[in-house]
Structure 1
């Protein structure tokens, strides 16, 4: 490492470590300036950092070559890393402390927008409009924000950030050695860290990986990142008024089915389950949404799966073949049949459970300096006394923020409360908007108007287990009403008469 004897005498060990990281980044930039023949800028640069003398060690050559970068804290990117970065900045961030590593080409953004506003035919959402953290009502973190946070009065020179948060875009990590605290990129650059936050999210299930014939045809789409969304938008514009088939009846299927209908497509949805959103919806709740989609002109084919795709001479998809023998014409196909946590790089290095990386209530893994958040984390769900993995943006945001609090608390030798989360899911399609809080187990009591033909349908449901309300759902609720059902799910009030609960509906929640 680089050292500075005068500096070491004046600061404590923790600050030296932070400063050393800063000096490492300075020396990489110093090499860059020399390489480009920018001696005048280098002189100004060194004048801006008086009293600092860089001494070469055996590692300096590697650092100068760009093959090794020393970082205190490293986040692997999904959109939740923007929330983690904001929390780091809020709690205090020194220059050179934090790096965000992403294979994407843009700064963290609100991923849910991709299946909603990004696909609108008019006034569509576009960056920089939905960079994090607008999804939770916070400030929008534009790319410049990352370089501003944690900054000292140093000269900022292009190529590398000398202060603030280093945002490493277009960088894919292909190897992780947690024992040596080293990540390796596809360009063979090694990143050393003190703390690692794994926030890699989930990857969609690709039909070609499960042997579906013709699944690599053109105009078959999956949606995970902004590049996927851009390709879908281009196809929507070129195939407008055509036929679209949605394979899958979950979140992505329902939201993209609505989006394509709004874009004037003839839409058919296909899924194997007896009703849509089977992991959350009851048959009665699902019946409303299926009826509403039918009213909008969307056809639904249930109880079967796609077994193959036909394509024309230039490779564009033309039809979807179903297991039950039906053949559906298609100009565009969108697939949303589930996802799996991106944990491959860490297998055999950290403990796993329920498909994810097992963590404690602070999102610390079996390796104390490695944290996992969002979709990849299997964590103690305190409210229900069991470990779970939750796939939703709300948990992803909150878990990232909590992990940061835990990291900072550990550095400062203080304690914080364990993560105490109330599961929350939501969606918006057409003129509909629903929210769910809690656990969908036990008996269900439906209330309100759930007729899809109604002019203004509004209904909800409670889930009752062991005589207590453990979950609550509401379609078309106001912000105040949604807060009421959240409170019910959190407090779990007792219920004796289910028929009375049905009659009371939202009144029950307002009295809790």
Structure 2
């Protein structure tokens, strides 16, 4: 009985100490009118829009677990890894990716924005409008913009044997790119294996080849970029990469890795029994939106935080932008989550405009987004607009051996063009395919559309 009573008293004391700690954290909390949680593309563009709309010093804080001010993340899989004249900060801080001013740390100071770096938030109390960091710092806000982005899916998450070996890389943050860059230099003329055939796989496959590594790409799908590319589009890129000396292995997956005596990866074991030598492995098998902090506190849908057309969530004064937001796609009358830098930029701007307008009793136009994706690798450059559903028509010269190839694809649903892809287009031609994807003009026949090709978009 005495033991039980002692246990109850101990629990009561623990409870009191916990409440006391929360009170202390709350009393010592930094207070802001607005907090942007995240340090990626969305965070930087949201900060710029807040500054445009008007801020008083000390009203806004950007809290990021990264050590540097927000930057244009796409550079990490492209110019950052180039063997000559690689991109380096401060060269690609936001908002240079859209032709805007470069926001250096001094810019945040000048605007009275508190840039809180190296700070990971481990607890988010949305009803209490409080964020707590891993070191116990507490931050209170009136309005929160969730811009936490995505995290990479790791092979160790699935218990893949040997996936924790050294020189197995993932690419999400600048710290990841620094480590990969050093490995590329250390393993000069070595062997690299890319696991995955999506964005990261294709872009890093190209940049590692440019660094004179022997490159092999492995993915389970029948062709690369299957979420966007048709087999016809993919055939061009696979052929082009193979002509550049990149070996492509399709229809199988990495099931394990062997390390040497230093713990560095030396072999990649595939499901089909093949064993590949490797000095460097780069894994690009997808990502997950970082929503864990908000589970059970906010409405979710399709893997993200559900928002309206102003990126307002189900919780008052909480907005979600970029990769984490599942939002109404007005053009198609459905809700979607979009992982791409263009949406990261535009959704951030939309949310801030909506926040400032609501404070003044005004409204802004609903977000009317045209899905847009692009990539650059080797001397190739493609753009896609719209939706990739329905029948397809391939046009132009898609022979991978053709110098300066130019070709494209239209997607046709219910007799209308709903999506358009173009490789090697000029700025004017890319604008034309964007225009046709939004206008969704009717199509008389698929044969006629194939015959007209790019000229069909250019006349809309």
TM above 0.5, yes or no, is yes
Residue 86 of structure 2 is matched in structure 1 by 124
Residue 501 of structure 1 is matched in structure 2 by 449
How many angstroms apart in 2 are the aligned matches of 1:347 and 1:419? 25
How many angstroms apart in 2 are the aligned matches of 1:136 and 1:494? 32
Task: Indicate if the aligned counterparts of 1:67 and 1:188 stay in contact, CA closer than 8 A.
Answer: no
Q: Is 1:328 paired with 2:289?
A: no
SS of equivalent residue, structure 1 residue 334? strand
Alpha-carbon deviations, 1:190-236, whole Å to 9, x = none? 11000111111111100001110000000000000000000000000
Among candidates 429, 433, 437, match of residue 385 of structure 2: 437
CA apart distance, 1:62: 5.3
Residue 34 of structure 2 is matched in structure 1 by 73
SS of equivalent residue, structure 1 residue 72? strand
SS of equivalent residue, structure 1 residue 104? coil
How many angstroms apart in 1 are the aligned matches of 2:196 and 2:86? 24
Alignment of 1:15-414 (within 5 A): 67-77=28-38, 78-149=40-111, 164-414=112-362
Residue 39 of structure 1 is matched in structure 2 by none
Residue 37 of structure 1 is matched in structure 2 by none
How many angstroms apart in 2 are the aligned matches of 1:117 and 1:393? 16
TM-score of the two chains, using structure 1 as the length reference:
0.85
Give 5+ residue unaligned stretches, structure 2.
1-20
Alignment of 1:482-501 (within 5 A): 482-501=430-449
How many angstroms apart in 2 are the aligned matches of 1:272 and 1:103? 33
Alpha-carbon deviations, 1:417-470, whole Å to 9, x = none? 110000000000000000000000001011000000112211011100001100
Q: Which runs of 4+ in 1 moved over 2 A?
A: none
TM-score of the two chains, using structure 2 as the length reference:
0.94
Residue 371 of structure 2 is matched in structure 1 by 423
CA RMSD after TM alignment: 1.4
SS of equivalent residue, structure 1 residue 122? coil
SS of equivalent residue, structure 2 residue 332? coil
Aligned residues, how many?
A: 439
Alpha-carbon deviations, 1:342-373, whole Å to 9, x = none? 00000000000000000000000001211000
Residue 8 of structure 2 is matched in structure 1 by none
Give 5+ residue unaligned stretches, structure 1.
1-58, 150-163
How many angstroms apart in 2 are the aligned matches of 1:288 and 1:67? 59
Q: Which has the larger radius of gyration?
A: 1
How many angstroms apart in 2 are the aligned matches of 1:258 and 1:331? 17
Residue 10 of structure 1 is matched in structure 2 by none
Higher relative contact order structure (alpha carbons within 8 Å, sequence separation ≥ 6): 2
How many angstroms apart in 1 are the aligned matches of 2:431 and 2:199? 22
Residue 20 of structure 1 is matched in structure 2 by none
Task: Indicate if the aligned counterparts of 1:66 and 1:189 stay in contact, CA closer than 8 A.
Answer: no
CA apart distance, 1:330: 0.1
CA apart distance, 1:496: 1.3
How many angstroms apart in 2 are the aligned matches of 1:114 and 1:391? 16
How many angstroms apart in 2 are the aligned matches of 1:82 and 1:377? 17
How many angstroms apart in 1 are the aligned matches of 2:397 and 2:316? 51
How many angstroms apart in 2 are the aligned matches of 1:79 and 1:506? 32
How many angstroms apart in 2 are the aligned matches of 1:266 and 1:121? 15
How many angstroms apart in 2 are the aligned matches of 1:508 and 1:209? 47
